[in-house]
Amino acid sequence: MHSKVMYLSDLKFNIETWKRELRFHFNEMDTFQEKLEEAVERIEEPIALKKLEVFQNRIMIEKDAISKLMHRCRNKLANINNVDFNENIDGRLQNEQHTLREDMRTYIKLHYDLKEEMMDYFLEVL
């Protein structure tokens, strides 16, 4: 039982950390959107404007992905708060943690790839 409480405490810490990171990334996407809106007034090349539009679409997609991950984190925390201490930790909770962890890893990699692409774009067109 003690090991289960420790496991759940560690799991809760991970999820709370992910939630903070997701909130930060959501706000960061707002900042990038504002920068794109500023840039549109200074860009004259049609290709650069098309790239700008693609980035705006990718920001919307990213914000949607963040919302879905946040929802999954909230659901996971609810499961932890309502845990059956007689349930085996090798069961459902551990399997759910694994898929969420992998999805967070994938999301974070994609987020930083997008961020680098946008920063390169700003250097190129501004």
pLDDT of residue 90: 53
- Select from 18, 40, 25 the least CA-distant residue to 102: 18
Q: Which of 33-42, 84-93, 100-109 has the lowest mean pLDDT?
A: 84-93
Report domain extents, the chain. Answer: 2-125
- Select from 6, 32, 21, 37 the least CA-distant residue to 70: 21
**What integer is the mean pLDDT of 78-105?**
71
- Select from 110, 95, 99 the least CA-distant residue to 64: 110
Q: What percent of the chain has pLDDT over 90?
A: 67
Count Cβ atoms below 10 Å from residue 21 Cβ, excluding itself. Answer: 16
pLDDT of residue 93: 55
| DSSP designation for 91 | S
Mean pLDDT across the chain: 88
pLDDT of residue 81: 83
